[in-house]
A and B are shown apart, each in its own frame.
Chain A
Amino acid sequence: MTDVQAAIDAAPLPTPRERRRRRNPFIQFGRFVALGWGMFRLAQH
């Protein structure tokens, strides 16, 4: 393809820990609350 494909092929993959964090429902529930509140505040900005 192009240069961008070379960048993709060389890009770092998320660590196993990061992948678990992205899927862990307890951590993600906390992030859901934090992200939602952050976006709500930003929209009120």
Chain B
Amino acid sequence: MARIVVLGAGVAGHTAALTLKRRLGRRHDVVVVSPNSKWNWIPSNIWVGVGRMPAKAVVFPLAPVYRRTGIEFHQAKAFAIRPDGDAESPQGAVDIEYTGQDRRGEIVRLRYDYLVNATGPALNFAATPGLGPDGGHTVSVCTPSHAVEAAEHLATAIGRVRDGERLRFVVGVGHGTCTCEGAAFEYAFNVEQELERAGVRDRAEVVYLSNEPELGDFGVGGMQFGTPAGPVDGADWMASMFRERGIKAVTRAAVTAVDPGVIHYVHEDGAPRELAFDFAMLLPPFRGVPMRAYDREGAEITAELFAPSGFMKVDADYTPKTPQEWSADDWPSTYQVPGRPNHFAVGIAFAPPHAISMPLQTPDGVAIAPAPPRTGMPSGAMGKAAALSIADMIATGSDVATHRASMAELPAACIASTGTGFARGSAVAMTMAPIVPDFARRPTTHGRDPEHTVGEVGLAAHWLKRMLHTAFLYKMKAYPLWHLIPE
């Protein structure tokens, strides 16, 4: 009997755990360690953040799902990995500290035969002074509780505009190395819709503040879309949408600090700039969750397993390269940790080899470089690939991962909400193939397959996003035939 420990219960970890259990049945143990008691469908947090969806609609408790599916669940955070075991046993182990289940603070060492690290990100608000809802001056929609707080602040600000004030609403990212610009884009457009609905749009200025080199970059280097009206450049397409909705934009910006009512930022020239605000939702940069690694003797080997960002090294090419030297082949495909084939890191937890977008930098070295997004669809695909590889490895006794999910080959579908409501909703439906453009194989089409890199704006895309909300909650609750819903 093999024992597989999955760290994290987000899209990647939860998908991996459910897939493993479905494949392995009762013959093997699948164990999930997550500090959170609830699963969160993060793409819908933006609707919680404008008060159009209750927080309870985007979460469900994990324990009943795991009980029903026969998965062992520990509500705990992992803080140390011992991939080669310890003095007692050569079997790998992970040290965890409980955060719930009436065992808060208790520390336990879990043994494993296979480990899937899918811990997701640590929200690094501390990277920018004054950023974030906890002691800072901005709000966030990264978690349901953050989104609820954002909705309250937004309602207050809209109330002030109703009372006759003219306010500026700034939505974007709070650091030069942030990712998830798509979520900020969505929130900016949903805030704009709320102002329109409240009848106060003419007294409110909405500004999108981003580290992207240009609109529509989204951390994936931008796209060249096929649309119903013909092929268009993604930046031009987005510019048209911003103009249509009267949303202003500042790109190529690294936020360096936030004071009450003032955002400080720089462009690549390094000159300090300020943007006053009355309401600001700025997403934080991510880093790996704090975790250390030790060998059998107890010597620290964290730097061997983890990149300085805290994300876990996998089968990528981490050789330092200039953007001109970047290759699609740099990207990992099996997500196995080098030299430790029974260890995998998937979703946000794996260390990308480099950015996808063109990085910028100020003369003082402040990075304006969107980090590669690896959430949602690719996260689920990675989690499933790692799970299927482990199931095959257990069956055959091999060390070779049999399933691959390289972001340089995976397609992605993204639906970015630009407003909600059955009749008044709107969204941008985008698909791209692959996520990481391959300029060597497709030099004339922005590195992607034009047949599968398409975009469309409309009510249908909103309906689709709303349907995916229901479909993915169904899938993640492991209801009957859940596995038929693709990642």
Q: Are A31 and B251 in contact (CB under 8 A)?
A: no
Assembled-state Cα–Cα distance A22/B457 (Å): 7
Interface residue tally of chain B, by bracket? 35 or more
Chain B residue at smallest Cβ distance from A21: B458
A residues near B433, Cβ cutoff 8 Å: 42, 45
Task: Report B201-238 residues with CB < 8 Å from chain A CB.
Answer: 207, 214-215, 228-229, 235-236
- Interface flag for B267 (CB, 8 Å): yes
Mask, A4-34, CB within 8 Å of B = 1, is 1101111111100010011101001111100
Which single member of A4, A14, A21, A42 contacts B413 (CB below 8 Å)?
Answer: A42
A39 to chain B: closest CB distance in Å?
Answer: 4
Which single member of A1, A21, A22, A23 contacts B250 (CB below 8 Å)?
Answer: A1
A residues near B377, Cβ cutoff 8 Å: 43
Report if A14-B244 is in contact (Cβ < 8 Å); known contacts: A8-B239, A35-B464. Answer: yes
- Interface flag for B309 (CB, 8 Å): no
Task: Report B246-277 residues with CB < 8 Å from chain A CB.
Answer: 248-252, 267
Assembled-state Cα–Cα distance A14/B467 (Å): 26
Mask, B430-474, CB within 8 Å of A = 1, is 010100000000000000000010101111110110010000000
Which single member of B235, B426, B429 contacts A7 (CB below 8 Å)?
Answer: B235
**Count, chain A residues at interface, CB 8 A:** 31
B residues near A11, Cβ cutoff 8 Å: 236, 239-240, 242-243
Q: Are A13 and B243 in contact (CB under 8 A)?
A: yes
A residues near B460, Cβ cutoff 8 Å: 28-32, 35
Q: How many A-B residue pairs have CB under 8 A?
A: 95
Q: Are A23 and B459 in contact (CB under 8 A)?
A: yes
Report if A39-B464 is in contact (Cβ < 8 Å); known contacts: A8-B239, A8-B242. Answer: yes
A residues near B252, Cβ cutoff 8 Å: 2, 4
Assembled-state Cα–Cα distance A21/B328 (Å): 38
B residues near A36, Cβ cutoff 8 Å: 464, 467
Interface SS majority for chain B: mixed
- Interface flag for B487 (CB, 8 Å): yes
Chain B residue at smallest Cβ distance from A7: B239
B residues near A22, Cβ cutoff 8 Å: 426, 457-459
A residues near B457, Cβ cutoff 8 Å: 14, 22
Assembled-state Cα–Cα distance A4/B461 (Å): 26
Assembled-state Cα–Cα distance A36/B240 (Å): 25
B residues near A35, Cβ cutoff 8 Å: 429, 456, 460-461, 464
Chain B residue at smallest Cβ distance from A45: B411
Q: Are A38 and B464 in contact (CB under 8 A)?
A: no
> Can you list 27 residue pairs at the A/B interface with Cβ under 8 Å?
A2-B251, A2-B267, A4-B239, A5-B249, A7-B236, A7-B239, A8-B239, A8-B243, A8-B249, A10-B239, A11-B236, A11-B240, A13-B240, A13-B243, A18-B229, A22-B426, A22-B458, A28-B459, A29-B460, A31-B456, A35-B456, A35-B464, A38-B454, A39-B413, A42-B411, A42-B452, A43-B487
Known: A4-B252, A8-B248, A9-B243. 20 other contacts (CB 8 A): A2-B252, A4-B250, A4-B251, A7-B235, A8-B243, A14-B240, A14-B244, A18-B229, A21-B228, A28-B458, A28-B459, A28-B463, A31-B458, A32-B460, A35-B461, A39-B464, A42-B452, A43-B486, A45-B433, A45-B452
List chain B positions with a Cβ less than 8 A from chain A: 207, 214-215, 228-229, 235-236, 239-240, 242-244, 248-252, 267, 377, 411, 413, 423, 426, 429, 431, 433, 452, 454, 456-461, 463-464, 467, 486-487
